[in-house]
Amino acid sequence: MDKSMEKIDSVKFLIYLLVFILITLFMVLFLIVPTIKDYRSSMGVYKTVLVQKLSVESLLKEKKKELLDLRTENKRVIASFMHTFTTKNFIAYAGTFFNAVSLVEVEKKGYKDEFREYQLRVSSQLKSPTKFYDFLEGLNRYENIVQADFPIHMESNSSIIKSSFTIKVYDLNATR
Amino acid sequence: MKRDGKVSMRLSFIAPRKKHFFSMFTKIWLIFIALVIVLLSIFNVFVLFKTLEYKSSVVNLESQRKSLASTIEETDKKIRFIVRQKAIAEEIYANNIILKDSMKNLFDLVPDQITLNKVLMKKYSLIIYGVTPTKDTFNSLLAAPLKSIFHTSKTVFYLTQDGWYNFVSTNKIISPDKLEEQ
Amino acid sequence: MVFNIARVIKKNIPTVFIAIVQEDDIWIINSKVIKNGIVKKKFSKSFDVQEEDALPQDMSEYLERIQTDYNFAYVSLFLDSTGQGAIYGNTTSDFEKNSVDIKNVTHFDTDAKWSVYASFIDINWIKKLFSQVGIDFIYSPFMVQNFLLEKEKRKKEPILYILNHHDCVTISIFEEADLVFGAFFRTKSDEKLVNSDEIDYWDNEPEAQDTIELFGRDVLIYKYLISSLREYYSNDLYRSEFIEKIVLFDGDEVSPDLIKMVKNNLFMDVELQKVNIHEVICEMSINEAMQ
């Protein structure tokens, strides 16, 4: 006969209750509390790192947009930089303004620059130099980045103007 | 009655009641304790699991951040590159226009009476070979504007058989480097 | 394997063995606390029988209290109700031969060739009586007697054993290890003393040579002894060898006169052993619980 549930001694009950409470307390204090501390701190770290990552992410997004916009804005210029310079094409271009076009590559003159230099010699039928103006303006729209530079020689013989000027072509590989 | 190879004797008419090491009260108490331990342990494991999740996420995020940061650097490089390219192109384009404008200015200066035979344009100098009917024509129509543009301006005249003058006009600008030296 | 561990652990837990024996109208309770085979405590108490169908209130409380104090407790009772006995054999026909209806009794054979039985109704009544308090062992006086005589040397010749309790007399005849005859008589004052037929029969007995007079219970013991012997010698059921020796386990007080009487008139040798039935019940329960 297990009568233990019918007559419960107060003292025994209190002792059992006390032990139960002690065990619960012990478990909570030494197991739960440190675990929750750990949890909280790791959650805090996580939140911080998350915010950092998100801000970096949004910064990257901005930068990418910036890059994209730059690329679209400067499409033509970028393409011009990339385009390989062919003397043939340039001679053809110059040919639209002048007759007897010749293009000769010239040694770079000393100072460092990312250009390849050419000497362009042309002759023009017309007495007026308007073609030159058009030519120079047109350079800015040419398929390469090209700068016309001094020295410029112009001579007129009867009805022909012969001129030569330096053409500097921007070349990405030139500095090497 | 035999059990385990030993003879067990039976002396009583009835069999004894079952004996338990623990009373019902103790058993229930132990069950409560076990329950508490089990529940708290499960909870603990659950929280530990979540903590581990956070920790691994942190590692993940850190590496992501690093890779994003390096991508930003690369992107920055690319941006700078394009910006530089743009600047270079604009300078070149501007130079081309300046060059054109200079040429235009020069040729616009030349009046109809004066004919140019040869023009040597350099960065800081301009030498013009031409023909002018009179010295005065040149001096008044061309020399003055030239003087206003250039620092030094010298003209040499050569009388031709026709009575016109060939002239050689040498015009120079002091280069900015030389200016600094002074 | 598990049983062995449990057994070892059990031996180390203080266990209380409570022996309940009724004498007259008094419940006598003797308790022993055993731990590791050593007697740690002994205590006893008596209670007056108040009702027929229930234990006295204070006795129930007393027993319950002991059982809450000790987690392991064994309550044993000495059965002294009528309608119990012991016979040779263990089959239904054996019971029939002895005029016992097997359907009305609780019985068991003791791993030997003989059986002990008691009235089914009586056993149940006791279970009901102790339903609140709890009971573990109910011992037949024949088993008590058997427990005592196991220590004796067995001889080839039959020996008659008497267990004398305050309220009852148990007689059994053993041939070596086997009981061949058993008889149980109650001697309480409010019951019929003897069968009237038997009184006449005894009158034909030759006169006693000595002028020994018996008083009180001794008379009854003597009469029951004679009736048992008569039954044993006359009934064909029994082998009827001549019994020369009586061993008397005395749990009460027999007078020397009874022994003299038996010696002189019945020509049997009487060996007297004082026993404490309470102690024996305790011993039996310890043995049975600890095996």
Query: Hey, of B40, B46, B49, B96, which one would you mutate to test binding to chain A, going by the most A CBs within 10 A of its CB?
Result: B96
How distant is the Cα of C134 from the closest Cα of chain A, in angstroms? 6
Please state, in angstroms and rounded to a whole number, the distance separating the CA atoms of residues C165 and C185.
Answer: 10
Q: Are residues B91 and B121 in the same domain?
A: no
**Is pLDDT larger for residue C240 or for residue A72?**
A72
Query: Residues B159-175: what's their mean pLDDT?
Result: 87
Residue C67 token pair: 């059982």
Res. C212 pLDDT band, cuts 50 70 90: low
**Is pLDDT larger for residue C198 or for residue C223?**
C223
* pLDDT on residue B52: 95
CA distances from A143 to A83, B4, B86, C235 (A): 7, 107, 15, 145
Q: Which amino acid is at A17?
A: L
* pLDDT on residue B180: 65
Q: Are residues B145 and B95 in the same domain?
A: no
Res. A145 pLDDT band, cuts 50 70 90: confident
pLDDT tens, position by position, C8-19:
888 888 999 999
Q: Are residues B90 and B162 in the same domain?
A: no
B65 with A155: Cβ contact below 8 A: no
Q: Which residue of C has its CA nearest to A1?
A: C134
Is residue B10 included in any domain, yes or no? no
Give me the domain span that covers residue B120: 112-181
Chain C residues whose beta carbon lies within 8 Å of the beta carbon of residue B24: none
Give the ipTM of the model, two decimals please: 0.83
* pLDDT on residue C177: 80
C288 with B1: Cβ contact below 8 A: no
CA angle B19, B21, B25 (to 5 degrees): 100
Query: What's the CATH fold of domain A84-170?
Result: Threonyl-tRNA Synthetase; Chain A, domain 2 (3.30.980)
Mean pLDDT of chain A: 82
Query: Residues C36-44: what's their mean pLDDT?
Result: 92
Is residue B50 included in any domain, yes or no? yes
Q: Which of C136, C115, C141 is nearest to C126 (CA)?
A: C136
Cβ–Cβ contact B161 with C under 8 A: no
Helices (H) and strands (E) in chain C, counts: 9, 13
Q: Which of C115, C106, C45, C48 is nearest to C79 (CA)?
A: C106
A7 with C134: Cβ contact below 8 A: no
Please state, in angstroms and rounded to a whole number, the distance separating the CA atoms of residues C54 and A9.
Answer: 26
Which residues from A are below 8 Å from C when comparing CB atoms?
1, 3-4, 7
Q: Which amino acid is at C51?
A: E
B16 with C289: Cβ contact below 8 A: yes
Q: Does A151 score more than 90 pLDDT?
A: no
Res. B65 pLDDT band, cuts 50 70 90: very high
Q: Give me the percent of chain A exceeding a pLDDT of 90.
A: 33
Choose the final residue of a domain: B74, B109, B144: B109
Q: Are residues B63 and B138 in the same domain?
A: no
Ranking A48-52, C28-32, C147-151 by mean pLDDT, the lowest is C147-151
B10 with C139: Cβ contact below 8 A: no
Q: Which amino acid is at B15?
A: A
* pLDDT on residue A162: 82
Site of tokens 């001697």: C187
pLDDT tens, position by position, C151-165:
877 777 889 999 999
**Is pLDDT larger for residue B178 or for residue C270?**
C270
Which residues from C are below 8 Å from B when comparing CB atoms?
3, 9-10, 13, 71-72, 74, 76, 79, 106, 108, 110-111, 116, 118, 123, 127, 134-140, 143, 147, 284-285, 287-289, 291
B17 with C136: Cβ contact below 8 A: yes
Read off the DSSP letter of residue B13: S
Task: Spell out the SS3 assignment of C75-97.
Answer: EEEECCCCCCEEEECCCHHHHHH
| C195 φ/ψ angles, rounded to the nearest 5 degrees | -75, 130
Is residue B5 included in any domain, yes or no? no
Choose the final residue of a domain: B109, B136, B154: B109
- Structural domains counted in chain B: 2
Please state, in angstroms and rounded to a whole number, the distance separating the CA atoms of residues A164 and A150.
Answer: 10
Read off the DSSP letter of residue C153: P
* pLDDT on residue C200: 41
* pLDDT on residue A123: 62
* pLDDT on residue C178: 86
* pLDDT on residue C287: 92
Q: Are residues B97 and B129 in the same domain?
A: no
Cβ–Cβ contact B182 with C under 8 A: no
Is residue B40 included in any domain, yes or no? yes
Local structure of B25: helix, strand or coil: helix
Ranking A85-89, A120-124, C37-41 by mean pLDDT, the lowest is A120-124
* pLDDT on residue C57: 93
* pLDDT on residue A69: 94
Residue C13 token pair: 């837990």
Per DSSP bridges, beta strands C159-164 and C168-175 are antiparallel
Residue B47 token pair: 């929280």
Element (H, E) at C162: strand C159-164
Q: Are residues B94 and B36 in the same domain?
A: yes
Q: Are residues B70 and B134 in the same domain?
A: no
Is residue B14 included in any domain, yes or no? no
How distant is the Cα of A105 from the closest Cα of chain B, in angstroms? 19
B85 with A53: Cβ contact below 8 A: no
Is residue B151 included in any domain, yes or no? yes
Q: Does C41 score more than 50 pLDDT?
A: yes
Read off the DSSP letter of residue C247: E
Q: Are residues B52 and B75 in the same domain?
A: yes
Q: Does C202 score more than 70 pLDDT?
A: no
